[in-house]
Amino acid sequence: MENFIWKIKTFDELSAQDLHAVLKARIDVFVVEQNCPYPEVDGDDPKAVHLWAEHNGNVAAYCRIFQPGIKYDESSIGRVLTTQKYRNINLGKALMKFAIATIEARFRTSSIRISAQDYLLSFYTELGFVATGKSYLEDEIPHSEMLRSLICSDK
């Protein structure tokens, strides 16, 4: 993971350039690549902590995390992405490990609930998440709810 700069900021700490770069990456991946028009700016960014990896000034990977009680009773991770240019180098796994460690350090919990696109279930399973059995369509994309708890946090 050489030459990547890892950043972690609350919404109030984001500069205008940071916010623009993050939103561009999210729209490029979730709206354009996945051909899924939906309200990307959902009002939750001010409540999130934003984590991302930059390479040569570009967002390479990104996610946002929430403390318990905002999205779910547990902490949560969402808007997880790796931009097209930076895929297949395990950057997504590094991002998720960073997000999990950040949640454990900042929020003092190992319980994390996510809404995972179904094609990524094995990726999240490798990181200690377990499907809860709740499956649904979100923006016409199959998703499953997954939980990572203290019991499986040693992965």
Average pLDDT, stretch 65-74?
Answer: 96
Statement: the pTM of the whole predicted model exceeds 0.85: yes
Tens of pLDDT along 21-58? 999 999 999 999 998 888 888 999 999 999 999 999 99
Instruction: Quote the CA–CA distance of 26 and 58 in Å, as a whole number.
Output: 12
pLDDT at 25 (0 to 100): 96
Q: Average pLDDT, stretch 108-130?
A: 96
pLDDT-based confidence at residue 139 (cuts at 50, 70, 90): confident
pLDDT at 20 over 50: yes
Look at residue 137 in the predicted model and tell me its pLDDT.
93
User: Residue 152 above 90 pLDDT?
Assistant: no
Whole-angstrom CA distances from 115 to 73, 88, 109 are 14, 22, 18
According to the model, what pLDDT value does residue 154 have?
A: 44
